[in-house]
Amino acid sequence: MSEAVSCRQLFKRYDGGKKSVEAVRGLDLHVSRGECFGLLGPNGAGKTTTVEILEGLLQPTSGEVEVLGLRWGEGRDHELRQKLGVTLQETKLREKLSVLETLRLFRSFYDDGIAPEAALALVSLEEKAAAWVLKLSGGQRQRLAVACALVGKPELLFLDEPTTGLDPQARRQLWDVVTDLKRQGNTILLTTHYMDEAEKLCDRVAIVDHGQVIAEGSPKDLISRMGGEHVIEFTLQPNGDSGVGPSVFEELEDVRKAVEESGSYLLTVSEPHRSIPALLELLRRENLVLGSLTTRHVNLEDVFVNLTGRHLRDE
């Protein structure tokens, strides 16, 4: 079976005289059918530009793009659009249309699809069918946007920042919707700058920074590539001396990497039951006193920090 999405050496430059911006710089991407693929990266990394090129809304400056085995601009755009479901980042649907009217409108654009009522059921919005979009909460609007993308029974679903700006409960409801869609075998390409979202929803993730993919794999793979699966995070009580460099801790048993970040030390380890006693021993020897100490699993945020030295949400 062909790939759902493949793009090679994708470039996109927005010309604005002296202020030209190169949003995408040689991005490669391969999404298989049936998987949920995530583009994870900070704001401005080029994620939205990339998906809008894949959706046929923007022209790439250069590069090869193939979506469901077809290319944009070769006379089969209409056929291709029949097979795609799209939610854009921030679409404001007409406020004075009801939920069902909105879905009927979108359904009318597709030759084949599911009943508007069935699309509502997929996003658990049945009881709002008659309500005006105006009356919906942010989470409900976002679920309606997903329903509008599903009503044409897409072979490939694009979700651009599906949970940005939603409260935690609404995010979780949307995650449930996406998880259900995954379970039914849909191919989904989503973008997000939430690492927990990518970790929870995506079979594979491409970490995007400055218009390029800097790492790719399943969340588990990416995390294990860090060398350890746990992070020990601690602070020291001030003792009058100048601070201690993080490199001191890299000498310890089981510690793969040590960084200092705004007064905290982060140690990447694989076996905390061995590294923690070693750490405590070192601190005692050096007459240093702990301010706090916690441990947690490594997450995609740590992977991103490790790769770029920055946080996902710095910008």
Residues that bind another protein (CB under 8 A): 52, 55-58, 78, 81-82, 84, 86, 88, 90-94, 96-97, 101-102, 104-113, 115-116, 132, 148, 152
| Residue 189 in tokens | 């390409």
The minimum distance between CB 156 and another protein, in angstroms, equals 12
Q: In this complex, which beta carbon is closest to another protein, that of residue 11 or of residue 110?
A: 110
In one letter, which amino acid is 118?
A
Among residues 5 and 252, whose Cβ is nearest to another protein?
Answer: 5
Cβ atoms within 10 Å, residue 17 = 5
What angle, 0 to 180 degrees and rounded to 10, lies between the N-to-C axes of helices 99-107 and 138-150? 20
DSSP state of 78: H
Q: Each residue of 58-85: b (16+ CB within 10 Å) or e?
A: bebbebebbbbebebeeeeeeebbbbbb
Contacts of 51 (CB under 8 A, 6+ apart): 39, 158, 160, 189, 191
Nearer to another protein, 57 or 248 (CB): 57
> Which amino acid does the sequence have at 61?
T
Q: Which is nearer to another protein, 79 or 314 (CB)?
A: 79
Nearest to 5 by CA among 83, 58, 107: 83
Shortest CB 81 distance to another protein, Å:
4
**Closest separation in Å from C-beta 146 to another protein:** 12
| Collapsed DSSP state (helix, strand, coil) of residue 99 | helix
In the complex, the smallest distance separating the C-beta of residue 80 from another protein, rounded to whole angstroms, is 9
Q: Are 5 and 31 in contact (CB under 8 A)?
A: yes
Q: Which is nearer to another protein, 10 or 205 (CB)?
A: 10
Helices (H) and strands (E) in the chain, counts: 11, 13
Count other C-beta atoms under 10 Å from residue 262's C-beta.
5
Q: Which residue has the tokens 């940005």?
A: 164
* Token code pair at residue 67: 């979506």
In which element (H, E) is residue 303 found?
Answer: helix 300-308
Alpha-carbon span 10 to 31, nearest angstrom: 15
Cβ 293 to another protein shortest distance, Å: 47
Output 145 or 276, the one with its CB closest to another protein: 145
Q: Supply the minimum distance, in Å, between the C-beta of residue 107 and another protein.
A: 6
Q: How far is the CB of 72 from another protein (least distance, A)?
A: 12
CB of 109 to another protein, least distance (A): 4
CB 151 to another protein: min, Å: 9
Nearer to another protein, 43 or 294 (CB): 43
Nearer residue to another protein within complex by CB, 78 or 183: 78
Q: Which is nearer to another protein, 82 or 264 (CB)?
A: 82
Question: What CA–CA distances, in Å, run from 58 to 11, 17, 55, 119?
Answer: 12, 19, 8, 27
